[in-house]
Structure formats: C-alpha cells, structure tokens
Amino acid sequence: MSHDCLFCKISQGEIPSKKVFENDEFFAFHDIQPAAPVHLLIVPKQHVTSMQQVTENDAGWLGRMMVLAARIAHENGCRPGPQGGFRLVTNSGLDGGQEVDHLHLHILGGERPWSQRADQNA
Ligand code: AMP
Ligand code: ZN
C-alpha cells in the first residue's frame, strides 16, 4: 500500500466512496465526476501505478479484472447485448491523460448521449 495514494486509501476504506464491489484483489466504486450515466472505476488493491508498469507476471490478475469489469458493468446499469454495452478505459501516464497514479479501469455505459469528456478521455 502506498500511503499517499488516493485509490489505495479508497480501496482500504480509509476514504469514503460509493462501493459497488469488493473482493480480496479488487475494489470498484462510482466515479465522483461521472462522464456517462454509468461511470465506475475498478482498481486492484495492490498499488500498481499504471499499465506502463505491468509485465507478463501481471497477466493473471489483469485478466481477472477485465472479466470482473464486464460483470460489474452489467450489474450496475450497462445494458446487455449489441444495442447496449460499455466502454473500458485505462489512462496511463501524462500522455495518456492519467490523473490518479494508481491503475484503474473506467467502466462507462448507459444510454447516450454521454458527455464530451467520456468520448475524449473519460
Ligand atoms: P484518470 O484521469 O484516468 O486518472 O481518472 C481519475 C478519475 O478518478 C476521474 O474520472 C475522477 O473523476 C475520479 N476521482 C477522483 N477522485 C475521486 C474520488 N475521491 N472518488 C471517486 N472518483 C474519483
Ligand atoms: Zn495506490
């Protein structure tokens, strides 16, 4: 755990959030500034800065996070099937538009139109 990290603190329950899911590995919660009708964030509980740091050793939990993201999307208002769906985004580094330096997956969904922010950056 990195003690200066916002998403470490949220995933440890030290800073409040609107939690939608938690297990040993992951914590998911509502984005505080939603850019779409459904806008959730899922983070690993271990501190990983961004996708720039991952290696083949991380393939297992990264795969589990993607599978979990689809489940959480559907359980929280993203509509199923080809007419529905969702977007998964992980901004990495300054050029990637990352503001919080703890790897996170944005889950965006719900009926369109979404805000311009969602289509640019999330
Ligand atoms: P990124 O630009 O990909 O690093 O996204 C960071 C996201 O974290 C933004 O969408 C913010 O709205 C969101 N965020 C920042 N602080 C909080 C917080 N305390 N609780 C929930 N979401 C937050
Ligand atoms: Zn962290």
| pLDDT single digits (tens) 50-104 | 999 999 999 999 999 999 999 999 999 999 999 999 999 999 999 999 999 999 9
Q: What superfamily does domain 6-121 belong to in CATH? A: HIT-like (3.30.428.10)
- Choose among 21, 32, 20, 61: nearest CA to 44: 61
Query: Nearest C-alpha to atom 13 of ligand 1 is from which residue?
Result: 31
Ligand 1 close to Cβ of residue 76 (< 6 A): no
The CA 32 to ligand 1 mean position distance, Å, reads 6
C-alpha span between 52 and 63 (Å, rounded)? 16
The CA 112 to ligand 2 mean position distance, Å, reads 32
C-alpha span between 38 and 108 (Å, rounded)? 5
- Which atom of ligand 1 lies at the shortest distance from residue 15's CA? 19
- Model confidence over 7-61: pLDDT tens digits? 999 999 999 999 999 999 999 999 999 999 999 999 999 999 999 999 999 999 9
* 39 is known as an active-site residue: no
- Choose among 109, 105, 106: nearest CA to 76: 109
**How many residues are present in the chain?**
122
pTM for this predicted structure: 0.96
- pLDDT class of 118 with cuts at 50, 70, 90: confident
Q: Determine which one of 3, 30, 39, 104 is catalytic.
A: 104
The CA 8 to ligand 2 mean position distance, Å, reads 4
